[in-house]
Amino acid sequence: MPNEKAYFLTLEPTFQQLLGTDASIVLLLEYDAYPFAHEAGVFFADTHELFITSNRFTRQDEPYIQISKVSLGDGSKKVSREEIPSLDIPLGNGGINYRDGILFCSQGSMTKPSGLYWMSRKAPYSSKLLISDFYGRQFNSVNDVVVHSDGSIWFTDPIYGYEQGYRPKPDLPCQVYRFDPKNKSIRAIADGFGRPNGISFSPDEEIVYITDTDWIHGDGTTDGMRPSSIYAFDVTHYSGQPFLTNRRLFAMAADGIPDGIKCDMEGNVYSGCGDGINVWSPGGVLLGIIKIEGGAANFCFGKEGALYILNEHKLWKAQLSKSVRGALLEI
């Protein structure tokens, strides 16, 4: 009889190959005071640490998001969590490993712009703003980010901040951008979304996956006629620059929205949805679900098939086959 709160649901035989013979799901941390485990999920193999952002909660009568560092232990040490002292990263959200630190998306506030911030991963912690506008027009509320092997930074920018009352009226459409830190150039690389959210490259970087979470708006209203989908694009080049072509529907979430999204080295696509982590083949077939009660906004791969799942008040570890490698770190 499976654990009712967390278990594996196999829909295709291939999923069993990903699970291996010793798959397991364990609860690592639980904290009730606020939803500490919501977004980012940035793993560092050398220190066995994980950086995460909370969901929005109220602190001193203001909306607040807490960045935490989770020390995952090594069997001899217990899993523990440290709250990172308040930094000038207004309402952090998605994140990724970058230049021996973390590149965080900042959703911004009424007085501080949304943008991309670099944060050191060791105390004393410091942060630096990389970009906060498109040629003078402030971003809406930057949500998720991925870094290409050429050094460029790709990120999504929906309007959840305005809908939830902590950002001014948008001055830009809901789009996806490419920022080149070498020459500080910024391009709008994709549009046509209700609310672009998660973003990930395939292992060979020939495909980019972008989720559209328009099914739910910032005020909490949902509509089954709006997208709750993952779109795939081919990355092609013209005049020395990448373009996204051949937009196609890759998959639709059956439960909730596909939020954070990542690939393994075999090209399988993982996304945090309303029922946990959904896993699709490169051809868009739903292989199985890592069922987590309450779903998951985001997650990340650790070493050798470890998957760390952010479940608001809980942090879970799903152990897949040790042959499974996340495409971001290839470990």
The pTM for the full model equals 0.97
pLDDT 10s digits, 124-150 = 999 999 999 999 999 999 999 999 999
Average pLDDT over residues 212-219: 94
Under 8 Å between Cβ of 284 and 250: yes
Average pLDDT over residues 219-225: 94
pLDDT at 76: 61
Query: pLDDT band at 273, cuts 50/70/90?
Result: very high
pLDDT at 1: 38
Phi/psi of residue 85, nearest 5 degrees: -55, 150
HSE-CB of 105 using CA atoms within 13 angstroms: 32
pLDDT 10s digits, 233-244 = 999 999 999 999
Q: What single letter denotes the amino acid at residue 183? A: N
pLDDT 10s digits, 143-180 = 999 999 999 999 999 999 999 999 999 999 999 999 99
Per CATH, domain 6-319 is 2.120.10.30: yes
Q: How many CB atoms lie within 10 A of CB 26?
A: 11
pLDDT at 3: 73
Question: Whose CA is closest to 92, among 20, 151, 143, 158?
Answer: 143
The CA–CA distances, whole Å, from 130 to 106, 168, 180 equal: 11, 21, 10
pLDDT at 131: 98
pLDDT 10s digits, 63-91 = 999 999 999 987 667 899 999 987 889 99
- Cα–Cα distance measured from residue 139 to residue 108, given in angstroms and rounded to the nearest whole number: 9
Rounded mean pLDDT of the chain? Answer: 96
pLDDT at 189: 98
Q: How buried is 296 (Cβ within 10 angstroms: 0-12 exposed, 13-18 middle, 19+ buried)?
A: buried
pLDDT at 86: 77
- Cα–Cα distance measured from residue 299 to residue 294, given in angstroms and rounded to the nearest whole number: 14
pLDDT at 255: 97
Average pLDDT over residues 102-122: 97
Handedness of CA 232, 194, 252, 21 (dihedral sign): positive
Tokens of 31: 């904290």
Under 8 Å between Cβ of 157 and 139: yes
pLDDT 10s digits, 24-71 = 999 999 999 999 999 999 999 999 999 999 999 999 999 999 999 999
pLDDT 10s digits, 3-30 = 778 999 999 999 999 999 999 999 999 9
Average pLDDT over residues 285-301: 98
Under 8 Å between Cβ of 255 and 263: no
